[in-house]
Structure formats: C-alpha cells, structure tokens
Structure 1
C-alpha cells in the first residue's frame, strides 16, 4: 500500500513538472529560454515518472531497466538540448535583438560590428 502511494506520488509529481514545462514553453519570450524550460523541467519530470514506474512495478530486473532508462534520459536530454540550442544559435535561427552583449559570438568567430557597418 505504501509502495503504491510512493509510486503514484512520484508519477503525479512528474506530471506536475511536465505541466510546468508546457506553461514555460507557452510563456517564455524567445527560443532559447523555451529550450531551457524544456530541458531542465522536462528532464526532472521524466526521471520522476520513471522512478514512480519502477517503484510501481517492483520487480528487480524490470525496475532496474526502467531506472536505466531514467538515467539515460537524465544524461542525454540536456546534451541533446544543448546541441539543438547551439545549432540554432550558430545558424541564427532566432537571435534575440534586445541583448546588447553577446559573449558567445566571440566563441563562434562572429563579428557583428563588421557585418553591420558594411551594409
């Protein structure tokens, strides 16, 4: 009985974090903050749901597989999100105009002052 309560609590907590992710995706102003909301909160949500599922199943090998899926998601989702954000920045998908300082452009070898002055 207590095992089921813990499992349902973990799964509903994960569903709550997923709802926060959806709200963040709808409310944040630009692509990069939306990617951040999707990466951080959705990773926590997926890990909580997989932990709740592992507690619910409560068989050693099946629970171990489910926990390994959660650990894989814990490591792969932030890396994939970083790769997507870096690629979209590098291809100038949606650069925010309101930022005066762009420290990442030096790392990529961009020089906006030269491109703006020649136009």
Structure 2
C-alpha cells in the first residue's frame, strides 16, 4: 500500500477531483470550473495526484485530459478488505451474542 495515495487524498480539493474523475476523464479547465477554483490551483493539485499515481493525463487538441488510474484504488481496496473482514467477523459475533442473550431472556419473561 502506497502511503502517497493517502497523502494525496487527504486534501479536500484533491479528493473532490478524484470524485469528479470517477465519472470519466475531464480537462483541467472543467475540473477547475466544477470545483470553483483557478486553473493554476487545479493544475497544482492534479500534479500531486499524478505524482501519487492516482491520475494520468493525455493531450487532446489544446487541452490535457485527466483520468483516474485504477491500480492505486484497487490497492487501497485490497488493503481495506482486511479491515472489512475483521469488522464483519466482529459484527457476526455480536449478532450471535445478541441472539443468544435474547433467547435466554425469553423463557424468564414467561415464568
């Protein structure tokens, strides 16, 4: 797991850019407009995302189009899956414990 991914996503504007790019490639100008920021500021944030490997750019006419790279996000998902499995196991144990407690309390209520 590349910690640069978390560092890049920790900044709200960059996270917003990743969320925008989830729907498909966009130009720097489109990203800047949608996030209400200047194009130079958007370019700086996109550079950080690019350096972290989260986005890649391609020239298209007189624009640069940015799109998400799947690999870093897949790595993050794999890393988080270990936590998900642990949480699910704990919730399953809690469900079992609650069901057991409810089962024991029902006969007492009838008595």
TM over 0.5: no
Richer in strand (by share) = 2
Task: Please tell me whether Structure 1 or Structure 2 has the larger radius of gyration of its CA atoms.
Answer: 2
Q: TM-score, normalized by length of structure 1? A: 0.28
Q: TM-score, normalized by length of structure 2? A: 0.29
